[in-house]
Amino acid sequence: MSGADLILAGGVVRSGHDGWRPHEALALAGGRVAAAGSRADVAALAGPATEELDLGGGCALPGLTDAHVHIFGYALSLELLPAGEAGSLEELGAMVGAAAAEAPGDGWIVGHGWDHERWPGRRMPDRRDLDAAAGGRPVYLTRTCSHIAVASSAALARAGVSRDMPDPPGGVIDRGPDGEPTGVLRETALPLVGRLIPPPGPADRARLLARALRQCLSLGITQVQTDDLGIAGGLEAGLDLFRSVAGPGGVPVRITLMLPIDLFALARREGVGTGWGDEWLRIGHVKVFADGSLGGRTAALREPYSDAPGVDGVLVQRPDELREICRRVHSAGSQLGIHAIGDRAAHLVIDAVAAAVAERPRPDHRHRLIHCQITGPDTLEAMRAAGMTADLQTGFLASDAPWVTARIGPERAATSYAWGTILGLGIPACGGSDAPIDPLDPTRGIASAVTRAGAPPELARPAERLTVAQALGLYTHGAAAATFEEGRRGTLAPGMAGDVTVLDRDPFEAAPEELAGLRCRATVVAGRVAERDLSAAGGGAGPPRRSRA
């Protein structure tokens, strides 16, 4: 070797392939890891052109991956009405009124993030609230979970949503005692109105995506596994968008795109499926929804909601449809990733996957159960037997803690968010934020996994807390394995991708309560410094954190 391209020293290096033991320095060459070891041994690899990065007492880790995010959706949310900042229904109305005054006319007012669970009275907004704030303007505001929206009367009228329109399969149009739509839309009813909102033009799409990816780098995220093709205009348009923005010639974040089930047939005809692509842009799992959100009471439960007797959630797919989808995707050799928050949905998913695998055995399928929130011991044992991967969003507990016991009762809460049990059973797992549903910052999920801070006693269980090593593993080697890339990235072993996240402190030495305060000092992708000293410049914190339900 002619010499290392980059040497990182002046702190601690945790490579992740050797029990996370500390090293003094790290050398990268040709975009890959050359060595991790003592400062003297690594310094011997330096050449005349070697760049040095001073860790400043911080900690170098394998580049963090967000294994479940909607990064283009997050990008679009950056310039929407920030409805998550409203602390009450009245404040939301005032925000809508101000937006209408600032941009007069009859154009759309679009926002995201409202959370009625944080408001006095906890009443959802309806069309009358929006009408009073915006007059005759079309208004469309998605809830923080993105499984519920509220629309104004003008927006409903433009979409033809009336008392005579039936609920779409897998969705609900809320109606008042008079049978008229209230403006609240759930699950597959959202596109009835959402599809009418004018999309941003190509230049704005690229600009916003670049902004979001730069935020990823500022937070130490070197790869995203993202569900965006549906809102990015489809397969060809979505691939073109990400190619034009991400990669070595643009913002150097590695992209794995989830493939929505409604694009699966087209993608097969085009020869595009799981594993297609290169080291910068590739296709991951086929994304399917089985149910909705817990905060919106559309997650499908085996028993009714504790705070809403008679309500047990919404199945987006009929059981027979779900089984056929799983059979079709699995038999094609692709990977499945199925959203299931409620225990009823989770069991239907596990059964459907098990049936598909039994019909055409493929031991290393790595089909993913996304969220794994409301579970019992039988759920997790069935998941282990089916050979599935747990796609976890540990930050959800921090957001859900104030109200989740009311939703499902203490008995179900005591067996949910069961991360320690999942790993104890040997179920492979990865970690992600689900941004813009939850904040993008990966340290939030790591801290929540380790501390379960703020959770009530029935959820705070020490047995379900993860160690720092386990929590980091969700965002490093666990995330890599979830996309069949454990031989290329996820640790800093020699020969692996030179993707590195530098935090301002060593998480293994920090007190548990300090983990949420960790900040990114520098980010290296493919052996090149992509961002540095961001926390000192105020860029590491990202956008304001918003609660989620």
The reply to whether 490 falls in a domain is: no
The two beta strands, 254-260 and 221-226, are parallel
CA dist., res. 213 & res. 209, Å (int)? 6
- Residue 313 half-sphere exposure, CB side, CA atoms within 13 Å? 30
Same domain membership, residue 390 and residue 270: yes
Count CA atoms closer than 13 A to 505's CA, side-chain side. Answer: 13
* CATH code, domain with 442: 3.20.20.140
Judge contact between 36 and 42, C-beta under 8 A.
Answer: yes
The secondary structure of the chain in percent helix, strand, coil, rounded to multiples of 5, reads 35, 25, 40
CATH of the domain at 15: 2.30.40.10
Query: For residue 269, is it within any domain?
Result: yes
97 and 29 in a common domain: no
Give domain status of residue 543, yes or no. Answer: no
E strands, 218-364, are 221-226, 254-260, 281-289, 336-340
The pair of three-digit structure tokens given for residue 357, joined into one six-digit string: 């695998």
In-domain check, residue 487:
no
Element (H, E) at 535: helix 534-537
- Contact (CB, 8 A) for 299 and 273: no
In whole angstroms, what is the distance from residue 190 CA to residue 296 CA? 13
Q: What is the pLDDT of residue 103?
A: 85
pLDDT of residue 363: 87
* Region of 268 on the Ramachandran plot (φ > 0 left; ψ -120 to 50 alpha; else beta): alpha
User: 448 and 524 share a domain?
Assistant: no
> Do the beta carbons of residue 95 and residue 250 sit within 8 Å?
no
Domain span including residue 37: 4-62+496-537
CATH of the domain at 120: 3.10.310.70
Residues 31 and 159 both lie in one domain: no
Report the C-alpha gap between 26 and 19 in whole angstroms: 16
Q: Which residues of the chain have pLDDT under 70?
A: 1-2, 533-549
Burial of 488 (0-12, 13-18, 19+ CB in 10 A): middle
Which residue, chain included where needed, has tokens 């747990």?
A: 390
Strand blocks (E) in 31-103: 32-37, 46-54, 59-62, 64-69, 81-82
Give the contacts of 426 (CB within 8 A, at least 6 positions apart). 384
Q: Domain check: are 357 and 401 in the same one?
A: yes
- Do 229 and 183 share a structural domain? no
139 within domain boundaries? yes
Answer for the pair 92, 123: CB distance below 8 angstroms, yes or no.
no
Query: Tens digit of pLDDT for each residue in 148-174?
Result: 999 999 999 999 999 999 999 999 999
Tell the burial category of 27 from Cβ atoms under 10 Å away from its Cβ (0-12, 13-18, 19+): buried
Kindly give the residue spans of alpha helices, DSSP state H, lying in 387-476: 395-400, 404-413, 419-424, 442-451, 468-475
Judge if 317 and 456 occupy the same domain. Answer: yes
Q: How many independent structural domains does the chain possess?
A: 3
Strands 181-187 and 22-29, sheet pairing: unpaired
22 within a domain of the structure (yes/no) = yes
Rounded distance between C-alpha atoms, residue 114 and residue 119, angstroms: 10
For residues 507 and 396, membership in a common domain is answered with no
Let me know if 23 is exposed, middle or buried by CB neighbors in 10 A (0-12, 13-18, 19+).
buried
pTM value is 0.91
Q: What is the CA radius of gyration of the chain?
A: 23
Give the tens place of pLDDT for each residue, 224-249. Answer: 999 999 999 999 999 999 999 999 99
176 and 307 share one domain: no
Per the rule left: phi > 0, alpha: psi between -120 and 50, beta: everything else, 20 is left
- Choose one of 149, 164, 194: the last residue of a domain: 194
Give me the residue label for tokens 């309806």.
126
Pairing of the two strands 171-175 and 181-187: antiparallel
368 three-state secondary structure: strand
Q: Are residues 187 and 210 in the same domain?
A: no
Q: Is 546 within a domain? A: no
Within this chain, do residues 332 and 474 fall inside the same structural domain, yes or no? yes
CA distances from 4 to 43, 341, 486 (A): 9, 46, 23
Answer yes or no: do 11 and 28 share one domain.
yes
Examine residue 547 and state whether it is found in any structural domain, yes or no. no
Q: Determine the Cα–Cα distance for residues 246 and 248; give it in Å rounded to an integer.
A: 7
> Are the C-beta atoms of residues 228 and 281 closer than 8 Å to each other?
no
> What is the per-residue pLDDT for 235?
98
